Amino acid sequence: MNLIGVAALITAVGLEVCGQLCMKRAMRDPIRGFRSALHRLRTSPWLQVGIAAFITEAVFWTWTLYLLPLNIAFPMGSLCFAGVALGAACFLHEPISRGRWLGIAMILVGVGLLGAGW
């Protein structure tokens, strides 16, 4: 497997997780209408970092697709699900149920099998 492609994939996953966590943090307080949304966009560093992370992630994901076969890159992109769940538990103090822990473990095993060439 192409190591630069794997590095691009890991970077894309990290940026996706960062973007999701920042957007969720920015949206803790409700938005009341369009003007409120525009004000939040101008004043919330969490929202600005989240949007920047998504834009940068799109560049790295496109690069990943250039470097790796889609049948490898797309399933490995599921690391985003595990990363967001773990990040939400650590940084946003959201609970993770036993069922979700099982799902995270299954994602990690599946990605491990892909990485091992199965």
53-86 pLDDT tens trace: 999 999 999 999 999 999 999 999 999 999 999 9
Give yes or no for a contact between 69 and 5, defined as CB atoms under 8 angstroms apart: no
pTM score above 0.75: yes
Residues whose CB is less than 8 angstroms from the CB of residue 6 and which lie 6 or more positions away in sequence, other chains included: 68
Number of domains in the chain: 1
Q: Which domain holds residue 82?
A: 3-116
Q: What's the angle, vertex CA 93, arms to CA 58 and CA 107, rounded to 5?
A: 50
Given a contact cutoff of 8 angstroms between Cβ atoms, the answer to whether 17 and 91 are in contact is no
Among 103, 44, 108, smallest CA distance to 76 is for 108
Backbone phi, psi, residue 93, to 5°: 60, 40
- Contacting residues for 1 by C-beta, under 8 A, at least 6 apart: 68, 72, 115, 117
**Average pLDDT of the residues in 3-10:** 95
**pLDDT bracket for residue 29 (50, 70, 90):** confident
In three-state secondary structure terms, 15 is: helix
Q: Using 50, 70 and 90 to split pLDDT, how confident is the model at 1? A: low
